[in-house]
Structure 1
Amino acid sequence: MKKNITNLDFKLLQWFEVLISERSVSRAAQRLNISQPAMSLVLRRLRRIFGDPLFVRAHNEMVPTPRALELVVPIRRMLNEFSALVEGEAPFDSKTANAQFSMTVPSYISFLLLPRLIRRIESRAPGISLDILTSNRERAIEWLEKGEIDFRIGWIKEPPDTLRFKTLYTDHFVCMVRKSHPEIGRKLTLEQLCGIPHVRALIHKNSDSGRLIDQTLAAGGMRIRISHFVQDSLVVPYVVANSSLISIVPSRLAQATSRQLPVRIMPLPLKFPEQNIALYWHERTHRDAGHEWMRAQIGEACRSL
């Protein structure tokens, strides 16, 4: 049986979008310039219409239910399409625009990219801000699908058809060792690469770069000894600089940190596949003028890496 939707008006959908963005009745009421009791009544109406609690309280915020998360993408799409229908698409002026873009970026790419990107934004779009979230490759697709983030920088294996992407740059692996390493001379040999203990960044259990390194070695009947794991790629160069451990790392990370630390960058004694670092976004924002502008800024900032 079809539900009666005569009680569902456009303004309720707008208020639902504010609620899910703010995760708080009081903050949503403040943003909409209405009283908190009035906002509570709105939430009760939404719960009755959709037959779901929509939000449950956890700690100091309201957490959306699976049904609310399921609703947010089509509701945002409807709001955007209706707005474009009524107003027409306004031209994007970076000098006067006020917007926030959110993205997940691995820490070492943030370290390399963000100073350049933020410098570009400061000079071209003072009203634009960034919200950089902890990199989570497993949930990046879900967040993009639900509209919880705008972009993902890194690598997604077999992205769904709903995501668009472009390669930002290609990197290759090198080996990082401390300058005064007692066992390594001018060249790194295969025996040293496989025999000397390594430190590896293991941000998540299915690390693409770690798996790529291990598979390349295994194809030649080799493996490396990993004696320590860390959760942040930026920790690796400091561990290498202060120990006898070595590490296989992306060349851009090695180049940037070798300017500050007593380490050497050694070519690897066998060929490893290169890494493609890409920018991902959802199909629904592909033609959005603000998103197009931000994608261009990210691409230009990567040119100087």
Structure 2
Amino acid sequence: MHQLTNIDFRTLQIFLTLMNERSVTRTSLVVGVSQPAITHALNKLRQVFGDPLLVRGKDGMLPTERALALEREVKRFLDGVADLQAPLDTVDLEGLQREIVVTAPEYLEHLLLPHLARILRDKAPGITLTVRPPDQRRIAGLLASGEVDFRLGWVRDPQHSVRAVPLFDDEIVVIGGPDNAALTDPLALSTYMDLPHARLQGNGRTTSGRVIDEFVRQQGGELNVRIHVQGLMSLLGTLMVSDVVATVPRRMALRIRESFPIRIVAFPGALPPVRNYLYWHERTQRSAVHKWFRALVGEAAALVDAGASNRAA
């Protein structure tokens, strides 16, 4: 984005409007400047980026691949500028139009997203929330660059440039199908290690997964992982018809049991609690929009916490 130093904010706003309207005439009406001024701005952008950006097509102007890639960068840049200009404790929720990108394991997405979706619908319908799978290797750079706004999960050693707020703790349990006779309560550690296990695939191991593997290795064993699945529904379908078990956070297990007759037993050993946090980069600490969204996630987490207490009761 170093080339943007040669372009004013107005030109960037014209570019985003062109990408949305795909017409010089309609862009002129939306922005409120003459068509020659719109054309001049587009020509300036073409010169700076060495690309036609938008070309004439049958049904209007068509963006090039460079324009599509640039659109996301320009949106993020202008959103950041808007955050800096906004009063620190004030957000115009009714007029807020932007995307917020969060990475989260499927477990937390499953628990928090219904609450977040309802709150966003009622308070900020202009927000687009995008949830991506965790990327353990790249997350620090993604937060620093602004490609990702927030990270949900459990990180034992976050970087110094990352801020965090706790959401709720959880504990690890073992689940299986209703006819899995080997899944006894209490469950012997030797039985647990011998049982066939299923695991959700992801972009690298989760912190809870690494904690479980470390514990099992300390006992001189190794989990008998027989199946790797892509999603929760596949995992549950497998548990229902086999002797396979899975090791998951209790809150997820309680939520699953509302729809599937799974068995839940305590983990056969002492593990540290699963500490779920919301993480963000230091550079967005004072952003009004980020501050508002952090409070929103806290509100959703409180609802999850209350719901889990009711289910346990």
Q: 2:22 aligns with which of 26, 48, 53?
A: 26
Kept after mapping to 1: 8 A contact 2:174/2:245: yes
Compared CA separation, residues 235 and 37, structure 1 to 2 (3 A)? farther
Opposite residue 300 of structure 1, the aligned amino acid is E
**Counterpart of 1:295 in structure 2: which amino acid?**
R
Does residue 115 in structure 1 map to residue 121 in structure 2? no
- Residues 183 and 265 in structure 2, CA contact (< 8 A), matched pair in contact too: no
Determine the C-alpha separation between the residues in 1 that align with 2:291 and 2:190.
49
* Corresponding residue number in structure 2 for 1:201: 200
Asked if 1:184 is matched to 2:172, the reply is no
Q: Which amino acid aligns with 1:261?
A: F
Q: Deviation string for 1:165-221 (max 9, x for gaps)?
A: 212111211100222113233321112101111001121234333222111110121
Name the amino acid aligned to 2:111. Answer: L
**In the alignment, structure 1 residue 147 sits paired with structure 2 residue 146:** yes
Q: CA deviation at 1:44?
A: 4.2
Distance 1:150 1:28 in 2: 32
Residue identity matched to 1:136: P
After superposition, the Cα gap between the structure-2 partners of 1:42 and 1:270, relative to the gap in structure 1 and judged at 3 Å, is same
Query: Which stretch of the first structure deviates more once superposed, 207-216 or 196-205?
Result: 207-216
Residues 23 and 161 of structure 1, relative CA distance in 2, 3 Å threshold: farther
Matches within 5 A, 1:1-305: 8-15=7-14, 18=16, 26=22, 33=30, 41-46=40-45, 48-49=47-48, 57-58=64-65, 62-64=68-70, 77=80, 80-81=83-84, 83-84=85-86, 91-92=90-91, 94=93, 96-102=94-100, 103-123=102-122, 125-138=123-136, 139-156=138-155, 158-305=157-304
Structure 1's 9 and 62: CA in aligned 2 closer, same or farther, altered over 3 A? closer
- Alpha-carbon distance, 1:266 to partner: 0.7
1:242, CA displacement in angstroms?
2.3
Query: CA 1:189–1:106 in structure 2 vs 1: closer, same or farther (change >3 Å)?
Result: same
CA separation of 1:80 and 1:184: change in aligned 2, threshold 3 A:
closer
SS at match of 1:63: helix
Asked whether the equivalents of residues 180 and 243 of structure 2 are also in contact (C-alpha less than 8 Å), the reply is: yes
Distance 2:80 2:210 in 1: 38
Identity %: 27
> 1:90 deviation in Å?
8.0
Find the aligned partners of 2:195 and 2:23 in 1 and give their Cα distance. Answer: 55
What CA distance in whole angstroms lies between the structure 1 residues aligned with 2:223 and 2:161?
38
CA distance in 2, matches of 1:36, 1:174: 64
Amino acid at match of 2:204: K
- Normalising by structure 2, we get a TM-score of 0.74
Which structure 2 segments of 5+ residues have no match? 54-62, 305-313
Please give the TM-score of this superposition, normalised by the length of structure 1.
0.76
Aligned residue for 2:222, secondary structure, equals: coil
- Decide whether aligned partners of structure 1 residues 284 and 25 sit closer, same or farther in structure 2, where only a CA change above 3 A counts: farther
Alpha-carbon distance, 1:278 to partner:
1.4
2: CA distance, partners of 1:224 / 1:42: 61
Contact 2:184 2:265 in 1 (8 A): no
Q: Is the 8 A contact 1:187 1:266 kept in 2?
A: yes
Which runs of 5 or more residues in structure 1 are unaligned? none
